[in-house]
Amino acid sequence: MTPTRRCKRLQLLREAFPRVANVDLLFGPANSGSASQVKDIEEAAARRTIRVTPIELRQAADFEPAFGRGAAVGAQGYLAAAGTFVSSRLQAIVDRNLRSKVPTMFPRNPFAEARG
């Protein structure tokens, strides 16, 4: 996924929900492109006055704490980064996200097909 597409998801989230000012970025740090994704999204967020909190997902047990942390810091939206770990756990992430009732932008079509 190109930096432009990553940033476009943030832009679309803001356009759909103009009051979103605090977004949690869910990512798998073991993915080789994670660092660049986080950097690109943080830079795009700064230009849009959106605070981004990167949250690492290393194992399935991290999902509940990640969404709990999001609730604690007042996340108004989530972005899920592209990567093998996130994609391989897409249904669990979508299910947990639906319970949070917080708008989320996912990186790929299979997330939408899974109700994300």
Res 64: pLDDT: 85
Q: How far apart are CA 32 and CA 11, in angstroms?
A: 24
Res 3: pLDDT: 58
Res 5: pLDDT: 64
Res 21: pLDDT: 94
Q: Quick one: which of 25, 42, 32, 19 has its CA closest to 107?
A: 25
Res 53: pLDDT: 93
pTM score: 0.83
Res 6: pLDDT: 61
Are the C-beta atoms of residues 25 and 36 closer than 8 Å to each other?
no
Q: How far apart are CA 31 and CA 37, in angstroms?
A: 10
Q: Which residues pair with 25 in a beta bridge?
A: 54, 79
3-class state of residue 115 by DSSP: coil
Instruction: Catalogue all structural domains in the chain, each as residue range(s) with its CATH number.
Output: 3-107 (3.40.50.2300)
Res 35: pLDDT: 80
Q: Which residues of the chain have pLDDT under 70?
A: 1-6, 108-116
